[in-house]
Amino acid sequence: MAIRALIDYPSDILSRPCMPVSVFDGALSELARDLADTLDAAQAAGLAGPHIGALVRIVVLRPEPGQPASVYVNPEIAWASPERVSGIEGSVSMPGIRETVERAAAVRVRFATLDGASREEEAEGFRAACLQHEIDQLDGLFWIERLSRLRRDRARRRHAKAVKTGTPPAR
């Protein structure tokens, strides 16, 4: 178990699709523990493999502090509600940048557990948004790609300025 270094935007790792997990072993469990430790250290709600440089389809989610972390291996959205909701999102790979993103209000996700068992889970609200956000990351779609061109460019400029000056952007 270890806290891993986070990959910073605009690394190309964050825009590369991840490979499906085919071996369910101790190394996968260790990766899940590292993701959970890193998630806690970053005080994030969710973390996907690419955030720590692992280009495999694994997500660790803890949208409510104090609750146990959930691990999703090879997650995919099986169904998304037609109803849309907007919420504030950001990423540990682009700290301090937050924007409103529109997503499905509810989803059904198919995934495997760490031992390879198939599961499905329905989620709505914040948990649904977290799952969609992290599955996008596994598909190589960094969250700002869900923004309009104007808002995406603004987020990139704010991030670049923060990196250059060493100060977090205004929220």
In a domain, 27, yes or no: yes
- Give the CATH number, domain containing residue 62: 3.90.45.10
3-class DSSP assignment, residue 69: coil
Task: List active site positions.
Answer: 134
Average pLDDT value over all residues in the chain: 96
3: in domain? no
Strands (E), 27-155: 46-48, 58-61, 70-80, 84-91, 94-104, 106-112, 118-124
pLDDT in the model for residue 168: 64
d(C-alpha 143, C-alpha 132), whole Å? 10
Beta bridge partners of 18: none
What's the rounded mean pLDDT across residues 144-162?
96
> Is residue 32 a part of any domain in this protein?
yes
In this model, does residue 65 exceed pLDDT 90?
no
Number of domains in the chain: 1
Return the amino acid letter for 88. I
Domain with 119 in it: 12-165
169 pLDDT exceeds 90?
no
The pLDDT tens digits of the residues spanning 114-138 come to 999 999 999 999 999 999 999 999 9
Residue 171 pLDDT: 40
Strands 46-48, 106-112: pairing is unpaired
